[in-house]
Amino acid sequence: MSAIKTCQAKAQAQPAPDKTVLLHQLLKLTNRLMAPFSTHLAHRHRISLNEFRMLMTIGGLGRTASHELAELTGVNVMSVSRAVATLERHGRIAVVRDTANRRRKWLSLTEEGERLYALMRPQSEKVADFLLSDLSGAEAAQLEALVTRLIHTLEAKDAAGRSRFLEATRPDDEA
């Protein structure tokens, strides 16, 4: 029996999983997904994980405003700023002020960034193909819907514009 069928059988036979265990499984999944990046791309191309994520996002969009990267990637603003500065310093992206809105900076790939994007895009596809290879189309669609729903839960704001997630997970001694 395949691992996925074993997991499905367990899921049908048992009550809801321990949520903390599930959280730690998701964290483990995230860490395991970084292995191909660390092993095959980071040192070879001298690029950090956040720089890689920004480069791939900009490459996929063609052009984006710097302030949108945090929202698009889920990476905090300070880390986005550092990654963008490093990508620009290494000649991988061009940063151009928007003449209509002086606070906005447009980001696009340079020739070097395009070259790197073209090398890394197939690697991302290999990771995605391998990760989802044991799932049917319906299971992959269900996973996508669940992940999207979880992201929406984490990004929800309260009436005052605060993160519902951060407010709900505040330690009791900080209330």
Tens place of pLDDT for every residue, the chain, 175 residues?
565 566 666 666 678 888 999 999 999 999 999 998 888 888 899 999 999 999 999 999 999 998 899 999 999 999 999 999 999 999 999 999 888 887 888 999 999 999 999 999 999 999 999 999 999 999 999 999 999 999 999 999 999 999 999 999 999 887 6
* Number of structural domains in the chain: 2
The answer as to whether 140 is a domain residue is: yes
* Cα–Cα distance list, 141 to 28, 128, 132 (Å): 22, 13, 11
pTM: 0.80
Residue 62: CATH number of its domain:
1.10.10.10
Are 113 and 140 part of one and the same domain? no
Specify if 39 maps to a domain: yes
Tell whether 126 and 162 lie within a shared domain.
no
Q: What angle do CA 43, 129, 126 make, to 5 degrees?
A: 25
Query: Would you say residue 158 lies in a domain?
Result: yes
Which residues span the domain enclosing 86?
33-131
Answer whether residue 2 is part of any domain.
no
pLDDT of residue 66: 83
Q: For residue 100, which amino acid is it?
A: A
Same-domain pairing of 100 and 157: no
Residue pair 132/140 in contact (Cβ under 8 Å)? The answer is yes
Q: Count CA within 13 A, CB hemisphere, residue 128.
A: 9
Do 78 and 148 belong together in one domain? no
| pLDDT of amino acid 102 | 79
State whether residue 98 is helix, strand or coil: coil
Domain match, 79 and 116 both: yes
CA 146 to chain centre: 15
Q: Both 83 and 110 in a single domain? A: yes
Query: Do 62 and 143 share a domain, yes or no?
Result: no
Residue 120 falls inside a structural domain: yes
Tokens representing residue 84 in the block: 């963008």
149 and 162 in a common domain: yes
